[in-house]
Amino acid sequence: MDHEFWHKRWEENQIGFHQQEINQYLSSHWAELGLPDGAPVFVPLCGKSLDMLWLREQGHAVLGIELSDKALQDFFAENQLARDISQDERFTTYHTEGLRLLAGDFFALTRADLDGIVAVYDRASLIALPPQMRTRYARHLAELLPSGAHILLIVMDYAPGTIEGPPFSVSANELQELFHKDFVLDHKGDWVSQGPRGATVTESVYRLTRC
């Protein structure tokens, strides 16, 4: 899975992973992170998620990153938001009050780019990546975040062969393997639903704290 895969998905509007409403687990579990008022929040692989607007409404300054420039253009157009645009050798930056969204490669981020960030919201990042990239993602996220930073992580788990990802299945055992060296994992709950073709899907919510 390379950059071209995701650019094509957005260009062809193959974005079944995009939610048309605020994620229910975000609104019900976000307060459990215990963040200070106005704390800056990072949303990796943000797409055009409406969850970013909800986070801004809670008083957070939101930093997002998304590979697809089209996704960010659509976000501002569909939500009728004015924006300023700037560009450097790594990212195209879309900026409006309370939102700074970067078009570019997540793995090009440095710790300086996330200066001040104390929390991460990941609903669609980890589950968007195939296994070999999930390991790299977890390691890079650990490098970017300071001690004490929190992640609200939402994943899904389903039987092999029942659904063609992305989004991909990520088990509890895999989460432990990916994050236990750098984060404390707090499992907040599981919810079972029916997915495509009648597949059983378990969605799980975790709070991760950087050691």
User: pTM (2 decimals)?
Assistant: 0.93
Q: What is the pLDDT along the chain (211 residues), one digit of tens a residue?
A: 466 765 566 565 655 554 678 999 999 999 999 999 999 999 999 999 999 999 999 999 999 999 999 999 999 999 999 999 999 999 999 999 999 999 999 999 999 999 999 999 999 999 999 988 999 999 999 999 999 999 999 999 999 888 887 889 999 999 999 999 999 999 999 999 887 778 899 999 999 999 9
Query: Range of 8's domain?
Result: 3-210
Q: Count the domains in the chain.
A: 1
pLDDT of residue 102: 98
3-state secondary structure the chain: CCHHHHHHHHHCCCCCCCCCCCCHHHHHHHHHHCCCCCCCEEEECCCCCCHHHHHHHCCCCEEEEECCHHHHHHHHHHCCCCCEEEECCCCEEEEECCEEEEECCHHHCCHHHHCCCCEEEECCCHHHCCHHHHHHHHHHHHHHCCCCCEEEEEEEECCCCCCCCCCCCCCHHHHHHHHCCCEEEEEEEEEEEECHHHCEEEEEEEEEEEC
- CATH number, domain of 120, equals 3.40.50.150
